[in-house]
Structure 1
Amino acid sequence: MNPGKYNVIFFLLATTLLLFSCRKKEKSYIETIAINDVQLPKAKPGGWRYSHDEKFQTFEDFQKLKKVKPKPGKNIIYLQPIGEFNELQRKEIELNREYLSRFFQLETKILPDLPNTIFPKNVRRIFKDGQEQILAGYVLDSVLMKRKPKDAVVLMGITEKDLFPKPEWNYVFGQASYEDGVGVTSIYRFSDGYLSDSNFNQSLERLIKVSSHEIGHMFGISHCLNANCVMNGSNSLPETDFHFARACSLCQRKLNSSLPYDPQKRLQDLKQFFGKQHLNVELSRTEQDLNLLK
C-alpha cells in the first residue's frame, strides 16, 4: 500500500470539488439583460410619477396577485376595432396585431369592426377642441365585456374616437379592466386626429406602447418604477414617447412567469418587427439584449 499515492488522489479529488463549488453560477436571462435597463430620471412636475405616489411592485408582490393568465382553450389576444377606419388606420391596426403577437408570444386576432352607432348619446361629448369623445368605461363594461370571445385571454378595443375616463378628465389614451381582461385604446391622439404617411411610424410606435402597456396591466404588472420601461405611467404623449417600448428586466420576469415563452425567440421576433418597420431606436435596444445572450 502506497500512502503517497492515495494522498495525491485525495488532493486531486478535493481540488476538483473545490473548483466545481467555486464555479460561477450561470446567469439567468433576466439577470443577463438587466445590464441594459436604463435608470429613470428624477420625477418632474407634470409627469406621471410626480403626481402619483405609487408603490414599487416587487416580483413577490406580483406573484401574490390574482391576475389573468393564458390557459389551454383561453389563450388568444383579440383586437376589436370600433368605428370607421381608413386604409392607413387599418394598416396600423394590423401592424399592432403583429407586434402584440411577438411581444406577448401569443396568437393575436382582429375581430370584425363594430360601428360607432353602438355608443348612445349619453356616453358621448364634444371636447373643447371640437372632436367627439367616448366614455372609456362604457366601452369596457357595455361593449367589450359582452363580446369577449370564450377563447380570449384578453380583448383590446381600438377606437378612432377620442376617449375620456370621467367628466372632470380631459382625455385618456387607454383604459382597462384588469381582472376582466378587457381594455380599450384610442388611436385619435397618436396622430393628432389625422394619420398620414409622414406621421405613421410615430403613431404606430405610440399605439404599440399603449396597447402592450394596457395588456401588461391585464397580466398583473403594475406601473413600473424600476427602469425606463413600457410599463411606466404616462400623463402625456411626450412622456409616452420618452418611455421605451422595451419591458425592463423586472417586468419581463413578471411577464415570463405567467407566459412561459422562449425569451430569445421573443427577442428575435421583436428584432424582425422593428427592423421591418424601421423603428431603429427600439431595434437597437432589442439587438443590445440579444448581443448579451451570445
Structure 2
Amino acid sequence: MILVVPIGDVDTRTVEAVSRFVGSYYSRLGLPARVSDPIPAEWFSDAYNPSRNQFIGRVFLETLGGIKAKTGARAVLGITSLDLYEKGLNFIFGLAHPGMGAAIISTFRLRPEFYGEETTGNLLIERAVKEAMHELGHIFGLGHCPNRWCVMHFSNSILDTDVKGPYYCTSCELKLKKNWG
C-alpha cells in the first residue's frame, strides 16, 4: 500500500485526487493507495527556518519514514501546503528518500496563484499528481530522466512541471518494472 498523508492545512480535493491517480497507476503493481488521517503541521516546527520563512524538507521524511514503519506501507507520501527547501536550493517541489520509503511534496509553489495565474480548473491537481508520481518514482528506484515529457524529468521551475506528463516514459516504466522484480 501507498499511504498518502496530509500534513497541516492542505486542500482535501488535491489530496484525494493525488491518491486516486497514484492508486490507479500503482494498483497494477499490487499497491493500492489510501489517505491517512491528517497530521498537524506543528509536528514539524523544528523544520522551520524563520530567516527563510520556509521548512527544510528532510525533517518531514524522518517522520514519514516512521509512519511507514508503523503502518507496514510500502511507501508513504506526505502532502503539505508549507513552503519547503533544501540546503543549496531556493525551494523544492518535493523530496524523496528511497531507503526510508518516504516522500514529501509541497503544494505551496504548485498553486497557480503563486505565479499570478487564475485558480480555475485543475492545474494545482495536475501539478501535484506529477510531483507525487515523480517522488514515488524515486522511492521505487528511478532517477531523473532526460526526456522532458517524462514525469521523472527534473523540474527546475514550474514550467518544467507543466511541460511533462504525469506518467513514466517507456524507459522509466521498464526500469520501474525491473526494480519491482
**Aligned to 1:152, which of 36, 55, 73?**
73
Deviation of 1:259 after TM superposition, in Å, equals 4.7
Which digits, 9 at most, give the CA deviation of each residue in 1:42-74, with x for residues without a partner? xxxxxxxxxxxxxxxxxxxxxxxxxxxxxxxxx
Q: Report the alpha carbon displacement of residue 214 of structure 1 after superposing the two structures with TM.
A: 0.5
| Structure 2 residue aligned with 1:98 | 20
- 2:60 matched residue in structure 1: 139
Counterpart of 2:158 in structure 1 is 237
Q: Mark the structure with the bigger radius of gyration.
A: 1
CA contact (8 A) 1:165 1:172 kept: yes
Structure 1 counterpart of 2:89, from 162, 169, 176: 169
Residue 212 of structure 1 corresponds to 133
2:49 match: 125
Deviation at 1:193, TM superposition (A): 5.1
* Distance in 2 of aligned mates of 1:258 and 1:170: 32
Q: Which consecutive segments of 4 or more residues in structure 1 shift more than 6 A?
A: none
2:172 counterpart (246, 251, 255): 251
Provide the rounded CA distance (Å) in 1 between the counterparts of 2:114 and 2:37.
Answer: 23
- Listed as ranges, the gaps of 5+ residues in structure 2 are none
In the alignment, the residues of structure 1 paired with residue 179 and residue 90 of structure 2 have an alpha-carbon distance, to the nearest angstrom, of 34
Is 1:83 the counterpart of 2:3 in the alignment? no
CA distance in 2 between counterparts of 1:126 and 1:236 reads 24
Asked if the contact 1:227/1:248 (under 8 Å) is kept, the reply is no
One-letter identity of the residue aligned with 1:115: P
Percent of pairs with identical residues = 30
* C-alpha contact 2:148 2:160 (8 A) present in aligned 1: no
> How far does residue 255 in structure 1 lie from its aligned partner after superposition?
2.0
Q: Any idea what the Cα deviations from partners look like across 1:99-143, whole Å, max 9, x if unmatched?
A: 0011222210111111111123x4212466xxx4211011112x2
> Residues 93 and 243 (structure 1 numbering): CA distance in 2 closer, same or farther, change over 3 Å?
same
After superposition, give the CA deviation of every residue in 1:204-252 in whole Å (9 maximum; x if it has no partner): 1110001001101111111112563111111000111111223111111
- The CA deviation string for residues 245-265 of structure 1, in whole angstroms up to 9 with x for no partner, is 2311111112233458xxxxx
The structural deviation recorded for 1:198 is 3.3
Residue among 22, 36, 41 paired with 1:111? 36
Considering only aligned residues, what root-mean-square deviation do their CA atoms show, in Å? 2.3
Residue 27 of structure 1: aligned partner: none
Distance 2:146 2:79 in 1: 27
Q: Which residue of 1 aligns with 2:108?
A: 188
Could you tell me which amino acid in structure 2 is paired with residue 205 of structure 1?
E
- Partners of 2:179 and 2:89 lie apart in 1 by 33
Structure with higher helix content: 1
Question: What TM-score do you get using the length of structure 2 for normalisation?
Answer: 0.87
Gaps of 5+ in 1: 1-75, 261-294
Aligned length: 175
Q: Which protein, 1 or 2, shows the higher relative CO under an 8 Å CA cutoff with sep ≥ 6?
A: 1
CA contact (8 A) 1:104 1:259 kept: no
Q: TM-score, normalised by structure 1?
A: 0.55
Report Cα offsets for 1:130-169 as digits up to 9, x if no partner.
xx4211011112x212222442110011111110112x42
Q: Counterparts of 2:92 and 2:132 in 1: how far apart (Å)?
A: 13
- Secondary structure (helix, strand or coil) at the match of 1:91 reads helix
